[in-house]
Amino acid sequence: MTPARPSIRSPRHRAFTLVEVMVAATVLIFGVVSVLMVSQRGLQTLDSARHLARASQLLQSEMERLRLMSWAQLQALQDAGGPATTADALPAGYSFSRDIRDIKANMKEIRLSASWQGYEGSPHSVRLITRYGKLGLNDYFYTTN
């Protein structure tokens, strides 16, 4: 029995071809770009959630302050107009508005709104609405855009 001879391959058969390297590089580039895009979208979502939470907390605080007012105090506030919130330091980049209007005898509707520019520059807003009755008060509604 003769020993098996090791096969001698030419150097051309030992390495990857240029096409194989290009395909692998393309797949790697697509993977890296996908990871970067997902990371950017995640940061945008996180930024939106932070702004929404901050604006919602400020609006809820203002709504609770208004709900504790008497009918006469709320009527005086409606007649005077005035600032949208009483917070000492409003965050930069937010705009707030308050609208108090009569919807029928002995009932007012209070609308508080906040808006801001998102991470990507798109507008965002949140709104709280309640009805304030002279002899009682309903809960408020919460909406976002």
List the structure tokens of 139. 């809960």
Q: What is the pTM of this model?
A: 0.66
Asked if residue 70 is part of any domain, the answer here is: yes
Confidence at residue 14, expressed as pLDDT on a 0 to 100 scale: 72
Confidence at residue 143, expressed as pLDDT on a 0 to 100 scale: 62
Confidence at residue 71, expressed as pLDDT on a 0 to 100 scale: 87
Q: How confident is the model at residue 137 (pLDDT cuts 50, 70, 90)?
A: low
CA angle 28, 33, 39 (to 5 degrees): 130
Whether residue 116 has pLDDT greater than 60: yes
Confidence at residue 82, expressed as pLDDT on a 0 to 100 scale: 60
CB 129 within 8 A of CB 101: no
Number of domains in the chain: 1
Asked if residue 3 is part of any domain, the answer here is: no
- SS3 call for 19: helix
Residue 98: which H helix or E strand, with range? strand 94-104
Q: Which residues neighbour 114 within 8 Å (Cβ) at sequence distance 6 or greater?
A: 55, 56, 58, 59, 94, 95, 96, 97, 125, 126, 127
CB 142 within 8 A of CB 125: no
| Percentage of residues of the chain with pLDDT beyond 70 | 78
Q: In whole angstroms, what separates CA 98 from the centre of its chain?
A: 21
Mean pLDDT of the chain: 82
Residue 132: which H helix or E strand, with range? strand 123-133
CB 66 within 8 A of CB 121: no
Q: How confident is the model at residue 120 (pLDDT cuts 50, 70, 90)?
A: confident
Asked if residue 21 is part of any domain, the answer here is: yes
Whether residue 65 has pLDDT greater than 70: yes
CB 72 within 8 A of CB 93: no
Range of the domain at 41: 17-144
State pLDDT tens for residues 8-47: 655 556 788 899 999 999 999 999 999 999 999 898 889 8
Whether residue 7 has pLDDT greater than 70: no
**Choice between 133 and 30, residue whose per-residue pLDDT is larger:** 30
Asked if residue 88 is part of any domain, the answer here is: yes
Round to whole Å and give the CA distance between 127 and 84: 13
